[in-house]
Amino acid sequence: MTACDGEKNIFSSVQLPTGQFRVDLPDVEQGNNRSYMFTIKEVNRLKLSNLEDYLYGTISSIPRDILHGMDLVIKENPSRNRITVGRSFYSKTYRKEDDLGYGIAAYRGFQQSLKPTFQGLALIIEFLKQNVWGFRGVDVMNLMPQVSRALEGLEVHVTHCRTKQKYTVLRLTKEITHDLDFPFEDVEAQAPPRRIRVVDYFRERYGIEILHQHIPCLDLGKHGKINYATMEFCILVEGQIYPKEKLDNNVAKLLKTISLAPPNERKHTITEMVQANHGPFGDVTENFKMGVINKNMTAVDGRVVGAQT
């Protein structure tokens, strides 16, 4: 599969043949074939590792050539299978209730664009927008109690260093990142202890600049140890259990409604989950042979079937 920008550039995940090639295309009007010569030459090889380094914060320059190529790649499939209007993609079918009459119908579609961002900040900021009423993205200090209540106790990964360790947000720092410092002892350099600003520490240790210096840091320390991390270098751990007591009344009522689904809807949901590719019937043959059967499971016709839902 290749992705083309509609002009001269083709992007591919594998090396394409280079040189001159001849292609014959039928001429419908003349009733014969017409021959064309075209040339393929390699212009550039994009190093995706540069994008990874940017996301981890080890380089500050945006790899725009990679983002341009990836933007075309993610648009290739919808452009082939949907109606393209400018930057928007619309389904080729519409529902009966969307028929407006007079040959007019409302089509449902979407726009997509690839934009560089420190995903940790974007993700946490978006999370706060959904959980803190009135939060607009930069007014952390004005809504400290609400922001702290939303973030404290959540687990995060850090992106400024390569680790899969999970950290729990203990609290937000009282100072903004620009003014925050901590005692630092460089054991490797055998230098005397000193106080260092968080901004300077990230610059010296990881070679990265903190962009959002006027918001607090997350305090990830435990057992009395100091461990400050900026929001832009943290991402929320997937699959966390969100405490029900933190939900507002409207969301809590919605959750209750979803939980008390009628029998026919519950049956349909269970059937879908059981028969899905990633469900119990997806790939259980090998587990059955190995005897990996839960005490709440029953073996039926060589398949492991749940006895409770």
Note the pLDDT tens digit of each residue in 12-60: 988 889 999 999 988 777 778 889 998 999 988 888 888 877 776 677 6
Q: Dmax of the chain from CA atoms?
A: 86
- For the ranges 96-100, 128-132, 272-276, 291-295, the one whose mean pLDDT is highest: 128-132
- For residues 214 and 176, give the distance between their C-alpha atoms in angstroms, rounded to a whole number: 5
- For residues 158 and 232, give the distance between their C-alpha atoms in angstroms, rounded to a whole number: 9
Q: What integer pLDDT is reported at residue 21 of this predicted model?
A: 93
Buried b (16+ CB within 10 A) or exposed e, 161-193: eeeeeebebeebbeebbeebeeebeeeeeeeee
- For the ranges 171-180, 208-217, 260-269, 300-309, the one whose mean pLDDT is highest: 171-180
pTM: 0.49
- The mean predicted confidence, pLDDT, of the chain is 77
61-100 pLDDT, tens digit per residue, is 778 888 888 888 888 888 888 888 877 888 888 777 777 6
Cα separations in angstroms, 29 against 26, 34, 112, 263, 287: 9, 11, 38, 63, 62
The token duo for 24 is 């014959």
261-284 pLDDT, tens digit per residue, is 788 888 887 787 667 665 555 654
Cα separations in angstroms, 65 against 69, 74, 195: 6, 15, 40
Dihedral sign for Cα 265, 266, 269, 275, please: negative
